[in-house]
């Protein structure tokens, strides 16, 4: 199993903290946004006598309410098209297991969410990367690049929209282009849409589930983790109109019995979160993004585009090896008793050698901390490159 590139530097960060250094975490996607009160209250104010097993596919009431939430987002699915999972992570696991056998291939635009490597390895599936480039702000690679990679073993294309780690939001046209090759080659398209709410500058998210005629091919992965800042609830879901996919995924769901009871109660209540909550959150992320990108672009030798969604960006740094640099930041560097932790981007690529001078930065810290973090990064680069 591959190590998580996001978590592998944790021991170095712990050592730095034990030495009394403050570490700003730009490396993880744990939002500092408050969970909606309505979700917290639902757990506090319920009268369960027994925390019993629930239905393997998730509670009836929760699945019905999720389908209404999707209907409000112009996605027409019934509760029978939904399986509640223990986070988007388990949804990905079940999906890989349901649509692929050992030795099958999945094409994924890289850089991609690093845990896709772990899910593939665990399922014996081979990841075939197709390169998206920082010069194009990580737009969809040309369709011919996908077609060249399709073999008789290819079962699926997996996209993350909006993207972690790129912050790229696929346009309707890009989704439609992808849909065409998926249909032409009779593949599945798995769309990880856990950041669907996080789109900026008036852009709208276009879901794979909105494409007409793609019903048998489309599988959506979703999660409450980021949407409601409920990462520890561990609730997600698989959504597909393909009955064979859902009935196979249900067998995986039965093997693990049921998703967590209290977390489903919280997630169901969270669906009533008022729109103002999201308006405020989006406003906050846009302000953070603008500050972060502006400050990063002021540093000599740093290349970074403006993300259109999610809360990450990939930045190219003037260093040869971002892994070494990230470790050095924690082991050897400090600026006024402070340092930063970044995620080296090589772990988000499957092609060896790519992303070596890139890092992923998450803007889940408040603006003041982001400003301090970029200042520290700037000083660090000066010191690192003059050593
Ligand atoms: C793109 C993407 N997919 C899936 C997940 C899994 O999230 P969870 O299991 O918390 O729902 C994450 C978490 O960071 C993610 O960034």
Q: How far is the CA of 147 from the centre of ligand 1 (A)?
A: 27
* CB of 225 closer than 6 angstroms to any ligand 1 atom: yes
pLDDT of residue 241: 98
Residue-level pLDDT at 32: 86
Atom of ligand 1 nearest to the CA of 160: 1
Ligand 1 proximity of 222 Cβ (cutoff 6 Å): no
| Ligand 1 within 6 A of CB of 81 | no
What is the chain's percent helix, strand, coil content, to nearest 5?
Answer: 40, 15, 40
Pairing label, strands 358-362, 312-316: antiparallel
In short, whether 229's Cβ falls inside 6 Å of ligand 1 is no
Residue 160 near residue 178 (C-beta atoms within 8 A) = no
Atom of ligand 1 nearest to the CA of 164: 1
Query: In Å, how far are 27, 172, 286 from 295, measured between CA atoms?
Result: 17, 31, 14
User: Do residues 226 and 198 touch, judged by C-beta distance below 8 A?
Assistant: yes
Please give the distance, rounded to the nearest whole angstrom, from the Cα atom of residue 74 to the centre of ligand 1.
Answer: 23
- Residuewise pLDDT in 10s, the chain (387 residues): 887 777 789 999 999 999 999 999 999 888 889 999 999 999 999 989 999 999 999 999 999 999 999 999 999 999 999 999 999 999 999 999 999 999 999 999 999 999 999 999 999 999 999 999 999 999 999 999 999 999 999 999 999 999 999 999 999 999 999 999 999 999 999 999 999 999 999 999 999 999 999 999 999 999 999 999 999 999 999 999 999 999 999 999 999 999 999 999 999 999 999 999 999 999 999 999 999 999 999 999 999 999 999 999 999 999 999 999 999 999 999 999 999 999 999 999 999 999 999 999 999 999 999 999 999 999 999 999 997
Measured by CA distance, the residue closest to atom 14 of ligand 1 is 29
Q: How far apart are alpha carbons 159 and 140 in whole angstroms? A: 10
CA of 88 to the centre of ligand 1 (A): 5
Pocket mutation for ligand 1, best pick of 29, 115, 267, 361 (most atoms within 8 Å of C-beta): 115
- C-beta separation of 319 from 384 below 8 A: yes
Residues facing 83 on adjacent strands: 238
Q: How far is the CA of 194 from the centre of ligand 1 (A)?
A: 7
CA of residue 248 to ligand 1 center, whole Å: 22
Hey, what are 155's tokens? 């079962």
pLDDT score at 28: 84
The single residue listed with the structure tokens 């520890």 is: 232
Give 231 Cα–ligand 1 centroid separation in angstroms. 9
Ligand 1 centre from 196 Cα, in Å? 12
Find, among 87, 45, 93, the residue nearest to 259 by Cα.
87
Q: Write down the pLDDT at residue 233.
A: 97
Answer yes or no: is the C-beta of 194 below 6 A from any ligand 1 atom. Answer: yes
Rounded distance between C-alpha atoms, residue 289 and residue 328, angstroms: 26
Residue 382 half-sphere exposure toward CB, CA atoms < 13 A? 9
Query: Quick check: 214 and 183 in contact, CB under 8 A?
Result: yes
- CB contact at 8 A, 365 and 26: yes
Task: State in Å: Cα 34 to ligand 1 middle.
Answer: 18
Does the CB atom of residue 231 touch ligand 1 within 6 A?
Answer: yes
* Residue 89 Cβ < 6 Å to ligand 1: yes
């Amino acid at each position: 199993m591959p190590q998580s590139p996001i978590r592998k530097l944790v021991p170095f960060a712990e050592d730095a903290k034990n030495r009394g250094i403050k570490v700003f975490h730009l490396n993880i996607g744990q939002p500092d946004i408050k969970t909606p009160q309505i979700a917290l209250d639902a757990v506090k104010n319920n009268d369960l006598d027994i925390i019993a097993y629930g239905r393997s596919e998730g509670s009836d009431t929760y699945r019905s309410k999720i389908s209404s939430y999707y209907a409000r987002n112009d996605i027409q699915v019934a509760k029978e098209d939904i399986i509640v999972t223990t986070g988007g992570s388990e949804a990905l696991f079940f999906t890989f297991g349901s649509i692929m056998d050992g030795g099958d291939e999945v094409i994924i635009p890289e850089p991609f969410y690093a845990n896709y490597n772990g899910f593939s390895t665990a399922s014996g599936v081979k990841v075939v990367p197709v390169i998206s480039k920082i010069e194009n702000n990580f737009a969809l690679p040309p369709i011919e690049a996908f077609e060249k990679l399709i073999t008789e073993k290819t079962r699926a294309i997996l996209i993350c929209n909006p993207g972690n780690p790129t912050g790229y939001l696929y346009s309707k046209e890009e989704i439609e282009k992808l849909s065409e090759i998926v249909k032409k080659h009779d593949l599945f398209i798995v769309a990880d849409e856990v950041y669907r709410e996080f789109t900026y500058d008036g852009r709208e998210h276009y879901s794979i589930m909105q494409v007409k005629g793609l019903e048998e091919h489309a599988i959506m992965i979703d999660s409450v983790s980021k949407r409601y800042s409920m990462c520890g609830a561990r609730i997600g879901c698989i959504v597909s109109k393909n009955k064979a996919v859902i009935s196979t995924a249900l067998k995986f769901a039965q093997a693990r019995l049921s998703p967590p009871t209290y977390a489903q109660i919280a997630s169901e209540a969270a669906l009533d979160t008022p729109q103002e909550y999201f308006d405020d959150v989006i406003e906050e992320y846009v302000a953070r993004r603008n500050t972060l990108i502006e400050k990063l672009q002021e540093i000599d030798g740093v290349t970074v585009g403006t993300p259109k969604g999610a809360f990450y960006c990939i930045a190219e740094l003037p260093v040869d090896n971002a892994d070494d640099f990230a470790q050095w930041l924690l082991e050897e560097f400090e600026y006024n008793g402070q340092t930063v932790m970044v995620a080296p981007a090589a772990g988000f690529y499957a092609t060896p050698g790519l992303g070596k001078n890139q890092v992923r930065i998450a803007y889940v810290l408040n603006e003041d901390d982001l400003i301090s973090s970029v200042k520290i990064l700037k000083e660090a680069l000066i010191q690192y490159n003059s050593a």
